[in-house]
Structure 1
Amino acid sequence: MSRHFTEEHDNHIRDVMVPFELKSNVSRTTNALEHLAKYVYEAFINQPTRNFVIVITMCGTSLQLWQFDRSGAIGSELIDVKANKENLKKFGDLMFWFLTCNKTLLGFDPTVVEEEGHPVAINTCNQRFLIQPSPIFRAPGIWGRGTTCWKAYLSGDESDSFIIKDSWQVENRRNEGEMLREVTEKDVHYVARYYAHEDVLVHGTVVDIESHVRRGAEYKGGKKIGFDVKPEDPQVKNECTNRFHRRLILKDVGVPIYEVHSPARLLEAFEDCIKWHQELLKAGYLHRDISINNLMVNDNSKDPYRKSFLIDLDMAIPYPSLGVQSGLARTGTKVFMSSRLLLKLVSHSHVDDLESFFWVMLWICIQYPVKERQETELPSWNQQSMQSLGAMKEGYLHTPWLLTQKFTNHFQSLRPCVEEFGQIMYKEIDRTDDSVGRDDPARLYNKILSLFQRVQKGLR
Structure 2
Amino acid sequence: MYKTHKWVRCPDLNRKNIEPALAKYLKDFGNQVETLVKAAGKSLPRHKTRQWTARFTHKGVPDAPNIRKPDILLGADANLTWGNTLGHGELKSSNSGDCRRTAYLQLLNGAYLIFSHQDNRRFVISFAFLGKQLQLYIFDRAGVVVTAPIDIHKRPEDFVRVFTALMIFLSDVIRGRGTVCWHVRHDNRSFVIKDTWVDESRPHAEAEILSRAKDVEGVIKVHAHTVVDINGVNGTHWLRSNLPSNFTTALKRIECRIHTRLVLHPFGDPVSTFTSRKELISVLIDVVQALQDLWQDANILHRDISMNNLLLVDPNDLLLGSSAEGGTFNPHRSNEPEPAGSRQRTLALRKGLLIDLDYALVLDDKGERGKTVAKAHRTGTLPFMATQVLKQGPSLAQHQPHHDLESLFYVLIWICVHYVSPDNAERQNFDVRDTDLRLWISGESYEAIGATKLATIEDETWWPQKVLFWFAPYFEPLKPCINEWRQLVLDPNKLTHENVLGYGVFHESPKRKPRIGPNQELDLSPPRPELGVAQVEECKVPAAAHDRRALDIPHLRLRPSKIPRPVVKSAPSK
- Which TM-score applies when normalising by structure 2? 0.62
Identity of aligned residues (%): 30
Aligned length: 390
- Is 1:249 the counterpart of 2:260 in the alignment? no
**Pick aligned residue for 1:322 from 369, 372, 375:** 369
Q: Closer, same or farther in 2 for the Cα pair 1:49/1:381, shift >3 Å?
A: farther
- Is residue 19–residue 54 contact of structure 1 (8 Å, CA) maintained in 2? yes
- Is residue 391–residue 446 contact of structure 2 (8 Å, CA) maintained in 1? yes
**Pick aligned residue for 1:423 from 460, 484, 487:** 487
Question: How far apart, in 1, do the equivalents of 2:381 and 2:91 lie?
Answer: 36
Question: Once the 2 structures are TM-superposed, how far is the Cα of residue 238 of structure 1 from its aligned partner?
Answer: 9.8
Question: How far apart, in 2, do the equivalents of 1:411 and 1:70 lie?
Answer: 40
Question: How far apart, in 1, do the equivalents of 2:488 and 2:112 lie?
Answer: 40
3-state SS of paired residue (1:152): strand
Number of the residue aligned with 1:153: 185
3-state SS of paired residue (2:193): strand
Question: Once the 2 structures are TM-superposed, how far is the Cα of residue 222 of structure 1 from its aligned partner?
Answer: 5.0
**Pick aligned residue for 1:171 from 200, 203, 222:** 200
Question: How far apart, in 1, do the equivalents of 2:139 and 2:300 lie?
Answer: 33
- Is residue 339–residue 393 contact of structure 1 (8 Å, CA) maintained in 2? yes
By relative contact order (CA 8 Å, sep 6+), the higher-ranking structure is 2
Q: Closer, same or farther in 2 for the Cα pair 1:257/1:219, shift >3 Å?
A: farther
Question: Once the 2 structures are TM-superposed, how far is the Cα of residue 454 of structure 1 from its aligned partner?
Answer: 2.1
- Is 1:307 the counterpart of 2:351 in the alignment? yes
For residues 349-364 of structure 1, the aligned pairs below 5 Å read 349-364=400-415
1:295 aligned partner, one-letter code: L
CA offsets per residue over residues 21-54 of structure 1, 9 Å max, x none? 1111223333322221111122221222112111
CA offsets per residue over residues 272-324 of structure 1, 9 Å max, x none? 11111111112210100000000000248465897321001101112443324
3-state SS of paired residue (1:323): coil
Q: Closer, same or farther in 2 for the Cα pair 1:348/1:365, shift >3 Å?
A: same
Unaligned runs of 5+ in 2: 1-72, 322-349, 420-424, 522-574
Q: Closer, same or farther in 2 for the Cα pair 1:11/1:201, shift >3 Å?
A: closer
Number of the residue aligned with 1:71: 142
Q: Aligned-residue CA RMSD in angstroms?
A: 3.0
Greater CA drift, 407-416 or 299-308 = 299-308
Question: How far apart, in 2, do the equivalents of 1:453 and 1:272 lie?
Answer: 17
- Is residue 62–residue 78 contact of structure 1 (8 Å, CA) maintained in 2? yes
- Is residue 132–residue 153 contact of structure 2 (8 Å, CA) maintained in 1? yes
Question: How far apart, in 2, do the equivalents of 1:454 and 1:315 lie?
Answer: 33
Number of the residue aligned with 2:175: 143
**Pick aligned residue for 1:47 from 92, 95, 118:** 118
CA offsets per residue over residues 361-411 of structure 1, 9 Å max, x none? 100110013235464244563322212221222123334423122111232
Greater C-alpha radius of gyration: 2
CA offsets per residue over residues 170-200 of structure 1, 9 Å max, x none? 123211101112211xx21111122011222
Greater CA drift, 340-349 or 160-169 = 340-349
Question: Once the 2 structures are TM-superposed, how far is the Cα of residue 245 of structure 1 from its aligned partner?
Answer: 1.5
**Pick aligned residue for 1:401 from 457, 464, 471:** 464
Question: Once the 2 structures are TM-superposed, how far is the Cα of residue 79 of structure 1 from its aligned partner?
Answer: 1.7
CA offsets per residue over residues 432-460 of structure 1, 9 Å max, x none? xxxx8xx9854555454546972132745
- Is residue 282–residue 351 contact of structure 2 (8 Å, CA) maintained in 1? no
Greater CA drift, 269-278 or 372-381 = 372-381
Question: Once the 2 structures are TM-superposed, how far is the Cα of residue 216 of structure 1 from its aligned partner?
Answer: 1.8
3-state SS of paired residue (2:195): strand
Q: Closer, same or farther in 2 for the Cα pair 1:143/1:381, shift >3 Å?
A: farther
Question: How far apart, in 2, do the equivalents of 1:96 and 1:325 lie?
Answer: 44
Number of the residue aligned with 1:3: 75
For residues 138-287 of structure 1, the aligned pairs below 5 Å read 142-154=174-186, 157=187, 159-173=188-202, 174-184=204-214, 187-203=215-231, 205=232, 207-211=234-238, 214=239, 216-218=241-243, 221-222=246-247, 239-282=253-296, 283-287=298-302
Question: How far apart, in 1, do the equivalents of 2:454 and 2:513 lie?
Answer: 26
Unaligned runs of 5+ in 1: 109-141, 226-236
Question: How far apart, in 2, do the equivalents of 1:152 and 1:98 lie?
Answer: 34
